[in-house]
């Protein structure tokens, strides 16, 4: 058996199921990719989480304050959506009323035309006798 050890794993190479030349490049490639940008734009710095402890005291807000603000925003959004829905439903209702009036007017005109045609036919028959 070999007594050489793999420098990355620190195990004797005889015990390792994968040969050491294949495993070491994969490990080094993955460690090099950690610091790289996925987009391939090396001039862009990676984003980090906001550190609230570095903000000035006047801008810091407690968790409760942030929760209250979030709830207020959600409430205003709900109210705004409700008002928008009311306006939209009113528009839809007016549109339906106008459409019904238009259909009724068209139906009335159609019936008048039919009545006029019937009258002409009736007068035409009576004049022939």
- Classify residue 96: in a domain, yes or no: yes
Exposure string over 49-63, b if 16+ CB within 10 A, otherwise e: eeeeeeeeeeeeeee
Percent of the chain whose pLDDT exceeds 70: 68
d(CA 29, CA 8): 13
Selection from 13, 32, 33 nearest residue 23 by Cα: 13
- Phi, psi (degrees; rounded to nearest 5) at 12: -60, 140
- Classify residue 25: in a domain, yes or no: no
- Classify residue 74: in a domain, yes or no: no
Q: How many domains does the chain have?
A: 1
- Classify residue 40: in a domain, yes or no: no
Give me the mean pLDDT over the 1-26 stretch.
Answer: 53
> Does residue 20 contact residue 30 with C-beta atoms inside 8 Å?
no
- Classify residue 95: in a domain, yes or no: yes
* Tens digits of residue pLDDT in 64-103: 999 999 999 999 999 999 999 999 999 999 999 999 999 9
Residue 75, both tokens: 């409430």
Range of the domain at 98: 87-129
């Amino acid at each position: 058996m070999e007594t050489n050890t793999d420098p990355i794993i620190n195990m004797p190479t005889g015990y390792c199921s994968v040969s050491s030349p294949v495993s070491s490049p994969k490990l080094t490639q993955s460690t090099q990719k950690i610091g790289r940008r996925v987009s391939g734009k090396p001039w862009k710095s990676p984003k980090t989480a906001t550190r609230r402890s570095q903000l000035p005291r006047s801008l810091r807000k407690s968790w409760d304050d942030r929760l209250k603000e979030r709830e207020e925003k959600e409430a205003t959004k709900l109210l705004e959506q409700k008002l928008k829905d009311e306006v939209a439903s009113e528009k839809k209702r007016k549109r339906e009323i106008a459409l019904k009036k238009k259909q009724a007017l068209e139906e009335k005109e159609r019936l008048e035309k039919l009545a006029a045609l019937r009258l002409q036919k009736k007068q035409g028959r009576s004049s022939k006798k």
